[in-house]
Structure 1
Amino acid sequence: MKLKSTIIPLTGAIALAFAGAAYSQEVVKIAHVGPLSGPNAHMGKDNENGARMAIDELNAKGFTIGGKKVKFELVGEDDASDPKQATAVATKLVDQKVAAVIGHLNSGTTIPASKIYNDAGIPQVSPSATNPKYTQQGFKTAFRVVANDAQLGAVLGKYAVTALKTKNVAVIDDRTAYGQGVAEEFAKGAQGAGATIVGKQFTNDKATDFNAILTSIKAKKPEVVFFGGMDAVGGPMLRQMKQLGINAKFMGGDGICTGSLPGLAGDGLIDDQVVCAEAGGVDESGKKGMDDFRAAYKKKFGIDVVYNAAYAYDATMTVADAMKKANSAEPAKYLPELAKISHKGVTGTIAFDAKGDIKNGSLTLYTYKKGERTLLAVVK
């Protein structure tokens, strides 16, 4: 009996020791926020998938920070592309003490949420918000891994005049921070290159009927219609342009430049009619890496990349790299390393300027042929 009573406590102590070792592994929470409901849900889920790929890879490799193995946990939140919901989610994530935020997707949600993260000292890296105002607020916690609208709009505006030989342009935006911002920058670029803006109209990001604004534009006989907004609105707009006999080129930013546009536009998408720009892109030297990422993404999730998944992946990996360099997952300790990082990612080298914008950001111009997005050029 004496022997038995001695063995039981020892066995219990050993079990507790093992349990303690298992639970001593530090859990580092990284949040992703984007629209997982509403018309932009396919884009939000795509970005979340990119972040999840990075998290799963880091955990599979046994990532260490300061010589200690850590486990990353992805905290996914839905902001529904709504500024009010975005700020509510941001407050929730601050309360949960996440170490970093990947997101948001839309400029209209990224900008208001950024103040909450900044006040809490939590680094935020957006894989897709392009409005210049995001990084012009003076927040040390705000970063983006894609080019901004000033770059994107200027390139598209110049392209409309120099490559497409356009003289008359009509501009439509969806009144969101992103849509209005990129439309304004395009108009500046086009006018600067010598085009005339013959009409300006606006809709909203949930609209489905564009007959009134398109009829007004048709009377002005534009050679290009630029739309600042997302594919969920741009696709139906293309359908109605065809119904009204508007044969103009249709241009837009990365919001319409998706793999989902052909399905949304249906027979409204005519070969070579659309010219759009993605805020990012790789040159020939980075093509294999991007192709490999897309193949791995499809194998993991069973679908093709829709939007900016590779940028969400790179944003997550860049944050982890900064943590490793700082030997800490505490925001105050790794934030200085993030600000001066040079991380070789799938989308190119991730390095930030003093504002938090990507250095040497690339832009990729696309058109669509036979329902497939087709590369035109990668420019800086």
Structure 2
Amino acid sequence: MKFNMQRPLPIAAATVLFATMANHALADQTVKIGHVAPLTGQIAHLGKDNENGARLAVEEINKKGLVIGGQKITLVLDTQDDAADPRTATQVAQNLVDDHVVAIVGHLNSGTSIPASKIYSDAGIVQISPSATNPVLTQQGFKTTYRLVATDAQQGPALANYAAKNLGVKSVAIVDDATAYGQGLANEFEKSVKALGLTVVSHDATNDKAVDFRAILTKIKGENPDAIMYGGMDATGGPFAKQAKQLGLRAKMLAGDGLCTENLTDLAGAATDNVICSQAGLALEKMPAGKAFQQKYEARFHQPILIYAPFTYEAVYIIVDAMKRADSTDPAKILAKMPSTDYTGVLGETTFDSKGDLKHGVISLYNYKAGKKTLLDVVNM
């Protein structure tokens, strides 16, 4: 009897075909997460810090391996520059929608986050801002909008209370940079100090491109307030503080998180020793995994964390957590899981209220000692 030794071949061929099909089915699916911040302009250093945090998270997740719906996922950070400009922000927001990102980490500023939020809402894509503090962002009724920091409605009172109770301030001059962030924070601070019985001697506006503040400061010197509150970013707040010291103003300078950075010493020089500022989130040294994050960040980027990199890092992980719970990379299914977020990471536990704000906001207060940013107090809101 003659055996046909060729008969097993179809089985082998089928096995190869099946393996090829299986490998094809398990091939990487590329999933884009958008990130937006100012990468050019006066506050590009803050934007790059935010981008670095998000990039570190994406790199870590890819290294560990991510499987959603039985398919291996490779994350790609689709990063865009809004130059801290509201009009540019809406353009890059539409670019990200057109790029089919599944979620957005950004924007950095309130003035860019607010106009961009409608575009993300219309597209049904989750937006998590790591640093926008103007209350309006989450008061628009959009189901897509979230943030990982406390709001100016909490930051303003925290600054005002500290000034009144710890510094003994009785009178204050207020200056803002006329942006959604700076003006919003200044207005919340003004409401709070008036409620505490303090005198607001003046409220002036400059702009976020200004470099010379001597006219405003000379007027304020004549008003002789106990403190000056500046609503704006470090790029303008640093020179503002420096020029106040040069003009011999005795007043303490109060400011929010836009100014409260590690870069302030380079911008304000010795005037930092007169600054007290707030950050709308937990201090790095108080974060449960803050030290470990700091070591990873500095090893990867060879520079110190400026302020909100831990928050962008966490935002990426929160998006991926929603993706895992949905077992899908569909933006609509990711969005559906966001309200039930209960994620524990670098920042501690993150849960959101019905508007997309943190259920438990925290304000950290700092001063500068010999140019070094130093934690003063943590206020739970």
Q: TM-score, normalised by structure 2?
A: 0.93
* CA distances 1:225-255 after superposition (whole Å, capped 9, x unpaired): 0000000001101111011100211111100
Counterpart residue type for residue 298 of structure 1: E
CA distance in 1, matches of 2:90, 2:27: 33
- Equivalent residues in 2 for 1:1-380, closer than 5 Å: 17=20, 21=24, 24-269=27-272, 271=273, 273-282=274-283, 286-287=286-287, 289-380=289-380
Higher alpha-carbon deviation: 329-338 or 255-264: 329-338
CA distance in 2, matches of 1:148, 1:316: 20
Choose 1 or 2 for highest CA Rg.
Answer: 2
8 Å CA contact 2:276–2:366 kept in 1: the answer is: yes
- What is the total number of aligned residue pairs between the two structures? 368
8 Å CA contact 2:82–2:88 kept in 1: the answer is: yes
Deviation of 1:287 after TM superposition, in Å, equals: 4.2
Counterpart residue type for residue 310 of structure 1: P
Query: Helix, strand or coil: the match of 2:364?
Result: strand
- Alpha carbons of structure 1 residues 342 and 42: separation in structure 2 relative to 1, 3 Å: same
8 Å CA contact 1:157–1:188 kept in 2: the answer is: no
8 Å CA contact 1:282–1:362 kept in 2: the answer is: no
* CA distances 1:59-95 after superposition (whole Å, capped 9, x unpaired): 0110122332211110010000001110000111111
8 Å CA contact 2:288–2:348 kept in 1: the answer is: no
Query: Helix, strand or coil: the match of 1:339?
Result: helix
- Identity between Structure 1 and Structure 2 (%): 51
CA distance in 2, matches of 1:197, 1:323: 48
CA distance in 2, matches of 1:240, 1:267: 11
8 Å CA contact 1:282–1:348 kept in 2: the answer is: no
Deviation of 1:268 after TM superposition, in Å, equals: 2.7
8 Å CA contact 1:277–1:365 kept in 2: the answer is: yes
Counterpart residue type for residue 282 of structure 2: G
CA distance in 1, matches of 2:80, 2:25: 28
8 Å CA contact 1:283–1:378 kept in 2: the answer is: no
Counterpart residue type for residue 86 of structure 1: A
CA distance in 2, matches of 1:127, 1:58: 19
Deviation of 1:19 after TM superposition, in Å, equals: 11
Query: Helix, strand or coil: the match of 2:223?
Result: coil
CA distance in 1, matches of 2:233, 2:134: 14
CA distance in 2, matches of 1:157, 1:289: 30
Deviation of 1:283 after TM superposition, in Å, equals: 9.0
Runs (5+) with no aligned partner, structure 2 = 1-5
Task: Write out the 4+ residue segments of structure 1 that deviate beyond 3 Å after TM superposition.
Answer: 16-20
* CA distances 1:200-244 after superposition (whole Å, capped 9, x unpaired): 111100100001111111111011100000000011011110111
CA RMSD of aligned residues (A): 2.0
Counterpart residue type for residue 325 of structure 1: R
Counterpart residue type for residue 97 of structure 1: H
Deviation of 1:141 after TM superposition, in Å, equals: 0.1
CA distance in 1, matches of 2:44, 2:287: 27
CA distance in 2, matches of 1:231, 1:283: 19
8 Å CA contact 2:283–2:375 kept in 1: the answer is: no
- Alpha carbons of structure 1 residues 22 and 234: separation in structure 2 relative to 1, 3 Å: farther
Higher alpha-carbon deviation: 153-162 or 165-174: 153-162
Counterpart residue type for residue 97 of structure 2: V
CA distance in 2, matches of 1:190, 1:63: 49
8 Å CA contact 2:288–2:346 kept in 1: the answer is: no
CA distance in 2, matches of 1:164, 1:192: 17
Query: Helix, strand or coil: the match of 1:267?
Result: helix
Deviation of 1:377 after TM superposition, in Å, equals: 0.9
Deviation of 1:331 after TM superposition, in Å, equals: 1.3
Deviation of 1:199 after TM superposition, in Å, equals: 1.0
CA distance in 1, matches of 2:96, 2:134: 23
CA distance in 2, matches of 1:49, 1:179: 24
CA distance in 1, matches of 2:367, 2:21: 58
Query: Helix, strand or coil: the match of 1:319?
Result: helix
CA distance in 2, matches of 1:334, 1:163: 45
Counterpart residue type for residue 187 of structure 1: E
8 Å CA contact 2:287–2:348 kept in 1: the answer is: no
CA distance in 1, matches of 2:113, 2:199: 32
8 Å CA contact 2:287–2:347 kept in 1: the answer is: no
Q: TM-score, normalised by structure 1?
A: 0.93
